[in-house]
Every structure is written in structure tokens, then in C-alpha cells.
Structure 1
Amino acid sequence: MIKLKIKKGDNVKVITGDDKGKTGNVIKVFPESRKVLVKGINEKKKHQKPTREKKGGIITVERPIDISNVVKLSDAKVEKKVEKKEETKKTVKEEKSKKKSKK
């Protein structure tokens, strides 16, 4: 069994993907596939057929995220590194846009 640093109940921040920058609590960890299920993150729509017990319709389902795409928020050092990296990306984009506008 693979040992992971992120556990159920941890507060995490998504660092890449469609939900980049969002935070949430870990509901479940899948160590074999190295994925985590985070509440309110990576929600997808699913069309469900009606059955005897359940009504049909469109429901939202949370999908697992790869563990490399999230960072544990209680780690202050890691959080600062992520914020610093995001700031440098913004400044690089601004500098590139300024160079293009000067031409």
C-alpha cells in the first residue's frame, strides 16, 4: 500500500486544472490510483435514467483528482511557494503583454 501525505479531512488547494485556486476538504483518498476526492471540486454532470427507487434527471457528481494537482494547506512553506509561483507567472505574463504592445 502506498503511503500518502494527504489524508481524509485535510484542507487542500487545487494548483492545476479547471478548478485551480479553489480549496476544499478531502472526503476520500484512493492510494492505489493516487487520487483524492475533494468536496465541491471537480464536479461533473451525469444523466441518470429513472429507476423504481430513484427519479431520473441530471445530477452533479464529484470526481477524484490526481494527488499531484492538490497541495495540503496546513503546510505553510508549501502554500507560500505556490503563492510565489502564481505571482511570478502573473508578472511574466504582464511583461510579455507589455513587450507585444510596444511593437
Structure 2
Amino acid sequence: MHVKKDDMVKIIAGKERGKTGKVLRIMPDKGRVIVESLNVVKRHTRPSQLNPEGGIVEKEAAISLSNVMLVCGSCNEPTRTGVRKLEDGNKTRYCKKCNASVDK
């Protein structure tokens, strides 16, 4: 996965193209991601114990992983990422534009 939860991403395709947001949830089995306050859809819900009034609820819909690009924290641009192996054996993602580590 080139993105993880809480990463900042930019939408590169679709009706929300050019907007940025934080990743709320990743669905690796479906290859989709939910981005905060982007791709908002309206759902009609029935009254229930949790929501006694029912009505129209707005929530974020999933976006394909291929339509988002990670925004690098150091150069503030959408970028492709690579994976490096560190001396201690751990792996880290890095920005291919500025060569800086993306992971905290």
C-alpha cells in the first residue's frame, strides 16, 4: 500500500480532482480508501434506536487507491513513493521527488 491511515493525499482523478484530505480508512482487499470530507454522498436512513429520526445522512464514500497520491510532508507536493530498508531491518517509505522519509 502506498498510503496509510492519517496520510495526506491529493485526488488525481474524478469529480474531486485537485482536492486534498486526510485518509480515514483503507480497504486493502477492495483497493479503496476513504478520505475525510471528500466524495461525500447522501444516504437515506430509516429510523432506528441509534438514529430515532432517520432522514438523510451525508457520509464519505470510498475512492479507488489508484486515484489518490500521497502528499509529501517536506516538499508539500503529491509524489510517488518508494520503500527503503533501514539498517535495523525495518522498512520506510520515501518521497521520490525530495528523497525524504514520509513515515514519522
Question: Shorter chain as normaliser: what TM range?
Answer: 0.5 to 0.7
1:6-85 alignment, distance < 5 Å: 6-54=3-51, 55-74=53-72, 76=75, 79=78
Q: Specify which structure has the higher proportion of strand.
A: 2
Rg (Cα) greater in structure: 1
- For structure 1, which runs of at least 5 residues remain unmatched after alignment? 82-103
- When normalised by structure 1's length, the TM-score is 0.68
Q: What percentage of aligned pairs have identical amino acids?
A: 35
Runs of 4+ in 1 over 2 A off after TM superposition: 78-81
Q: Specify which structure has the higher proportion of helix.
A: 1
- For structure 2, which runs of at least 5 residues remain unmatched after alignment? 81-104
Number of positions where the alignment pairs a residue of Structure 1 with one of Structure 2: 78
- When normalised by structure 2's length, the TM-score is 0.67
- Give the SS at the match of 1:53: coil
CA distance in 2, matches of 1:40, 1:59: 13
| 2:70/2:79 contact within 8 Å kept | no
CA distance in 2, matches of 1:14, 1:58: 26
In structure 2, the residue matched to 1:101 is none
